[in-house]
Chains A and B, each alone.
Chain A
Amino acid sequence: MKYQSQAVALPYFVAAIGLFVGQILFGLVMGLQYVVGDFLFPEIPFNVARMVHTNLLIVWLLFGFMGAAYYLVPEESETELYCPRLALALFWVFLAAGALTILGYLLVDYATLAKYTGNDVLATMGREFLEQPLLTKIGIVVVALAFLFNITMTVLKGRKTSITVVLLLGLWGLAIFFLFSFYNPTNLVLDKFYWWWVVHLWVEGVWELIMAALLAFVLIKVTGVDREVIDKWLYVIIALALVTGIIGTGHHYYWIGAPGYWQWWGSIFSALEPIPFFAMTVFAFNMVNRRRREHPNKAAVLWALGTGVMAFLGAGVWGFLHTLAPVNYYTHGSQITAAHGHMAFYGAYVMVVITIISYAMPILRGRACNSRKAQVLEMWSFWLMTIAMVFITLFLTAAGILQVWLQRISDSPMPFMAVQGQVSLFYWLREISGVIFLIGLIAYLVSFFVKDGDKPATT
């Protein structure tokens, strides 16, 4: 660790992993509820479990992004963090807010929670992924602004690199587009139209900047390839990502009451969206092949390469599968969407956060890399989780294809619930894959505590 203040990243990473575990546990609950409908009812109805599952994902990824920024920015800027104590204070504020929100979901009736948190003053709740109470949303904005202030000041007083500039753009964009979560008109079409300004412009816009910056940072560190080379590919890739992704928002505007031309604009530009993901994969492999050093942290290299491949498969290929309007007419809002969502989030954002954790955590704990035994276990966890996710995606895709066929294409369409019964085998298989994912996650956790005689070099 080159700068003392990078240490504030540690609690962020720990919290991120902890919440990740929570996310997966609730995912397993939901997976079981798909086949055993009354499991945990009425204690944890499906909608509550889902809210916890998705909100934990968002919160732990944000913890990961913030931790990554605190780790990376001082090193890139070659200066201590502007205010490490602010960073630590924000950690506790964000963790408390996040924990209170999740507890609120689990322990308080949602309508009551809405009433006591000011939803009658400004109604923002009850929309997918934006279920957070108004107070939590305001808290997120405050934390994000204070965090951005801290990071921006650090960059301003130090060296400005392409990586910090791109990361900052991504993080500022994240905060700015979140503001659209406060806009909730009664007009459902407008509501949905701008809801996507948060959701799509996050995951297929500014988050890609964050992801590319984190990946570029790790690649510079583990390959030793000239920064100039990595920087220019970084710019080309994120240019392609935004060129295709911004108008690509149109693929969400096909069936929500927006004008018909979005079917053309959305189809054409989102058909190009796999290109930047493919470029990112080629880029990651290329840089590793051209490496000038053998970095001892093999696990981090594996995660970095895995991010490229899985982001391309999940976001690129599985996104393309159902993005063209004539296809999407049949697949919209089916299990195909769920399949894409799972692999894209895992491949792009979960894996990039684990990549930076895998690289930074040993250094934060005072060594260049973990012992060989720990790394082997971590790589096992990589394969277990990744393969499990591939199978989750495949089973959900199979369920989705069957669902679309029986419910939407067939001459005698079946009702939704009847179809759900027909595809339950795939839901069982998905749940089994989910258990394997959990086993992989446990292996990942254990890898942090593995000790053996083979002493790693200290920094």
Chain B
Amino acid sequence: MSGTFTKAMARNIFYGGTVFFFLLFLALTFDTTNALPKTDNRQNITPAVAAGKHIWETRNCIGCHTLLGEGAYYAPELGNVYVRRGPEFIKAWIVSQPTGAPGRRQMPNFHLSDEEIDQLIAFLKYTSEIGNQNWPPNIEG
């Protein structure tokens, strides 16, 4: 090799580069934090939505479904299920689980009260209204 290659320089570049790009990341995060109110639908977060998110989490829905494309890939995307199916269908679906059809994927029955199901639906409605660059490509998620 015709040039010089020193450990001290490599180390300095590691530290300098890391700090540099982390600061850049923080700067972009700062801008995102300021820009989010326009897209994240926070004006529609009601107590029902908050309760719905809690139900979503404590039933580990993410263990089968995706929400805005994140989660498990075993069951349908639910970020847009409110638009795809509507509240009545969702309610009827949750209540009628599991189907018990042999060999088919099964969703547990979580024994949610009417009020809890409404809260969960409120959360899914709020989620469907988040401005997320028009993902998914079509209604099937």
Residues of A participating in the B interface, judged by any CB pair closer than 8 Å? 30, 33-34, 36-38, 41-42, 45-48, 50-51, 110-111, 114-115, 119, 123, 125-128, 131, 162, 184, 186-190, 192-193, 228, 231-233, 235-236, 238-239, 242-243, 246-247, 249-250, 253-263, 265, 329-330, 332-335, 337-338, 407-409, 413-417, 420
B89 at the interface (CB under 8 A from A): no
B70 at the interface (CB under 8 A from A): yes
Total residue contacts A-B, CB cutoff 8 A? 224
By a CB distance below 8 angstroms, the chain A residues around B86 are none
Alpha-carbon gap, A260 to B132, bound state (A): 8
Are A408 and B137 in contact, with the CB atoms below 8 A? yes
Are A329 and B135 in contact, with the CB atoms below 8 A? yes
By a CB distance below 8 angstroms, the chain A residues around B100 are 38
B102 at the interface (CB under 8 A from A): yes
B64 at the interface (CB under 8 A from A): yes
Are A186 and B45 in contact, with the CB atoms below 8 A? yes
Alpha-carbon gap, A408 to B80, bound state (A): 14
CB neighbors of A among B10-34 (8 A):
10-11, 13-14, 17-18, 20-22, 24-25, 28, 31-32
Alpha-carbon gap, A330 to B136, bound state (A): 8
CB neighbors of A among B121-141 (8 A):
126-127, 130-133, 135-141
Q: Which of B17, B49, B71 counts the most chain A CB atoms within 10 A?
A: B17
A236-B22 contact in complex given A51-B60, A111-B58, A256-B68, C-beta closer than 8 Å: no
Using A41-B98, A46-B74, A184-B57 as known contacts, list a sample of 12 further A-B pairs with CB atoms less than 8 Å apart, ordered by residue number in A. Answer: A30-B74, A37-B103, A37-B106, A47-B61, A50-B63, A114-B57, A114-B58, A231-B7, A247-B21, A257-B131, A333-B70, A407-B141
By a CB distance below 8 angstroms, the chain B residues around A119 are 58
By a CB distance below 8 angstroms, the chain A residues around B110 are 111
Are A232 and B25 in contact, with the CB atoms below 8 A? no
Alpha-carbon gap, A192 to B130, bound state (A): 13
Are A125 and B36 in contact, with the CB atoms below 8 A? no
Are A193 and B32 in contact, with the CB atoms below 8 A? yes
A332-B106 contact in complex given A239-B18, A243-B17, A416-B76, C-beta closer than 8 Å: no
CB < 8 Å: which of A125, A235, A256, A334 contacts B58? A125
By a CB distance below 8 angstroms, the chain A residues around B67 are 188
Alpha-carbon gap, A254 to B32, bound state (A): 12
By a CB distance below 8 angstroms, the chain A residues around B40 are 187-190, 257
Alpha-carbon gap, A111 to B116, bound state (A): 13
B96 at the interface (CB under 8 A from A): no
CB < 8 Å: which of B10, B60, B76, B136 contacts A47? B60
Alpha-carbon gap, A413 to B76, bound state (A): 14
SS class of chain A's interface: helix, strand, loop or mixed? helix
A162-B135 contact in complex given A114-B58, A239-B18, C-beta closer than 8 Å: no
Are B39 and A258 in contact, with the CB atoms below 8 A? yes
CB < 8 Å: which of A243, A258, A335 contacts B21? A243
For B65, give the chain A residue with the smallest CB separation. A47
Alpha-carbon gap, A34 to B75, bound state (A): 10
Are A33 and B105 in contact, with the CB atoms below 8 A? yes
A-B contact pairs, 24 of them (CB 8 A): A37-B104, A38-B102, A38-B106, A42-B106, A45-B64, A46-B105, A47-B72, A47-B74, A123-B54, A126-B62, A128-B70, A128-B71, A162-B7, A184-B57, A189-B39, A190-B36, A193-B32, A255-B69, A256-B132, A257-B131, A262-B28, A333-B68, A338-B73, A417-B105
Interchain nearest-CB distance for A218 vs B (Å): 19
CB < 8 Å: which of B53, B77, B130, B135 contacts A416? B77
For A336, give the chain B residue with the smallest CB separation. B73
Interface residue count on the B side (C-beta < 8 Å): 72
For A120, give the chain B residue with the smallest CB separation. B54
Alpha-carbon gap, A235 to B16, bound state (A): 11
Are B10 and A236 in contact, with the CB atoms below 8 A? yes
B6 at the interface (CB under 8 A from A): yes
Alpha-carbon gap, A231 to B50, bound state (A): 50
Alpha-carbon gap, A334 to B74, bound state (A): 10
For A334, give the chain B residue with the smallest CB separation. B73
Alpha-carbon gap, A158 to B134, bound state (A): 56
A416-B42 contact in complex given A50-B63, A242-B18, C-beta closer than 8 Å: no
A111-B59 contact in complex given A260-B133, A333-B66, C-beta closer than 8 Å: yes
Q: Which of B110, B138, B140 counts the most chain A CB atoms within 10 A?
A: B140
Alpha-carbon gap, A455 to B63, bound state (A): 49
By a CB distance below 8 angstroms, the chain A residues around B60 are 47-48, 51, 110, 125-126, 131
Alpha-carbon gap, A46 to B106, bound state (A): 8
B35 at the interface (CB under 8 A from A): yes
By a CB distance below 8 angstroms, the chain B residues around A242 are 14, 17-18, 21-22
Interchain nearest-CB distance for B45 vs A (Å): 6
For A34, give the chain B residue with the smallest CB separation. B74
Are A255 and B132 in contact, with the CB atoms below 8 A? yes
A416-B75 contact in complex given A38-B102, A254-B133, A407-B140, C-beta closer than 8 Å: yes
Alpha-carbon gap, A78 to B105, bound state (A): 56
Alpha-carbon gap, A190 to B136, bound state (A): 19
Are A42 and B98 in contact, with the CB atoms below 8 A? yes
Alpha-carbon gap, A200 to B26, bound state (A): 15
By a CB distance below 8 angstroms, the chain A residues around B98 are 41-42
By a CB distance below 8 angstroms, the chain B residues around A128 are 62-63, 70-72
